[in-house]
Amino acid sequence: MSKKWWLLPGRVWQGLSMRKKLGLVFAVLTVAPLLLTTFLTWQSYGTAMRETVVERNRQLAEQIGSDLEWVFAEKMRLLRLMAKTAAIRSMDAERQNEALRQMVRQYPDIQLAVVADAQGRQVARWDGRMEEARNISYWDRSYYTEVLSTGSTAISDVLLAKSTQKMGIVVAEPIMADERIAGVLIVNIELRALLNRIGATIVGDSGYAYVVNRNGRMIMHPDLGLLAEGVDASSMRPVQEVLAEHNGSLEYEDVQGTTLLASYRFVPTTRMGVVVQQPLQEAMEPVAVLKWVVLVIALLSSALAAAGALELARTMAKPLVRISEATRRLAAGDLSFRLPVTSKDEIGQLAANFNDMTEQLLHRDEALSHVQGELERKVALRTRELQALNEELRRISRADGLTGLANRRYFDEFLQREWLRARRNQECLALIMIDVDEFKSYNDYYGHLHGDDCLRRIGAALVQTVKRSSDLVARYGGEEFAVVLPATSEKGALELAVQIQQAVASACIRHERSHSGEVITVSMGIATFIPQGDETYRELVAVADQALYQAKRQGRNCICLGSH
């Protein structure tokens, strides 16, 4: 073999005809960008798809974690309150039975409620069947011994309630008397709604969500058999992260070698962890399909481009090689290149025309760049102005001009939305209607300016009293106000109404013409519904309004509970 073998490609190229050279050049210039575009599309789409899957799983984990947080935080607060009541602390079986019965009746998701004394004996039951309690001891229940040892709330694994044959989780709270633990208040919360929520979480074809307790054991899973077995998942990477009280996402391999994308959230109130995961291959399947589609399109486009390039080369002559090079550079964005004009024939004229064209393109490109920059600046400025105006219009449309509270229009929208949510979740929705007592005489005596100031001060007192972000304080009209309380029982609404009454009294708005006292007072009507059937939110308003009317008839400065 010749030592100058590296010269062989050049000799082969020199041996090609101009048509083949032009055809090869055009084909390469056309196919290469297509292939590069295909590769970049694969990479960018794959990255975007992975980020989309991770974000979706993270949002699902956040939503399920929020559900768990709300359910158990509510029940833990309830148990702390119940454990401090006189009836429960009395350790008197009859009083405790009645208190437990009322609690179970008020909260349908509580399957059972009992009280055990410090010796592990069951001393009170929600159903009053004390003959069934004689042989029951709680010393073998880990949640009971945990309460005795720590003096704080304990939460169990998933258990099957013997009395209802339904899965639930036990929450136990110490009953303190004279700075010692006199007993333990125990409730079993049915998990049907949460298990249905977990089971209904669809993540592709084979992804799913599950919940672990603080020891890494499965307590909620679409496969109920795993709950019965009490599977220990503490060795799994996402479970290890939530046990370390972390929130986030990761990619890992399970024991079968399947790569999974998982998002996880730690629930601080119960120290549980939520994991939502999906096989990576399944999540990235749309990317694989796109690869094949783009590859086929690229191959077809390349074939068509190569055929066109060969046909174009066949019709061109040798003097056009230089023009071909110029056009290639122009296509690449180089507007500085100029062809030398060496003749006055058609080829020379074509070269001159090409130079004129590139000169015009250069000037036009500069002008367009300037116009585009100015246009983008104006569009951005106008967009910011419109966004600010829209935001202000949205705020104004929802706010009462005098008090700054939500207006009647937004009150109706909010109440209807919460009504539908309460009917869907079968939760209790409460409404407090508030009327300023003898406001007309206040206006007549002090004047409308003082009347407006009075309404503003009452609105401020309401806002300071109603502190939950989920609640809404609105001006219903005139001297009437309304408070919407999602997921609130009649007892909770009544407690808040008393606080409102005290806050208005504390505002000390003098009213010398009042028959109820020397300061402004309010009357309130309360209505609580668990929406059923064809009932509408207007029925809730009607019951609250009727209760308000009853409060006014009873002498004002009163709170009345409505019934339906």
Q: Which residues are catalytic?
A: 479
Q: What are the φ and ψ backbone dihedral angles of 59, each rounded to 5 degrees? A: -65, -40
Q: Which residues of 47-63 are buried (b: 16+ CB within 10 A; e: fewer)?
A: eebbeebbebbbebbeb
Kindly give, in sequence order, each residue whose CB lies less than 8 Å from that of residue 269, ignoring residues fewer than 6 positions away.
69, 72, 73, 76
Which tokens belong to 162?
A: 């013997």
Closest CA to 68 of 178, 195, 173, 184: 195
H helix or E strand, kind and range, residue 526 = strand 522-529
Q: Distance (Å, rounded) from C-alpha 501 to C-alpha 465? A: 10
Closest CA to 416 of 396, 431, 399: 431
Taking a C-beta distance cutoff of 8 angstroms, is the pair 186, 199 a contact? no
Q: What are the φ and ψ backbone dihedral angles of 406, each rounded to 5 degrees? A: -65, 140
Taking a C-beta distance cutoff of 8 angstroms, is the pair 209, 276 a contact? yes
Q: End-to-end alpha-carbon separation of the chain, Å?
A: 105
Q: What are the φ and ψ backbone dihedral angles of 426, each rounded to 5 degrees? A: 55, 55
Three-state DSSP at 299 gives helix
C-alpha Rg value of the chain to the nearest Å: 38
Taking a C-beta distance cutoff of 8 angstroms, is the pair 313, 19 a contact? yes
Q: Distance (Å, rounded) from C-alpha 211 to C-alpha 382? A: 48
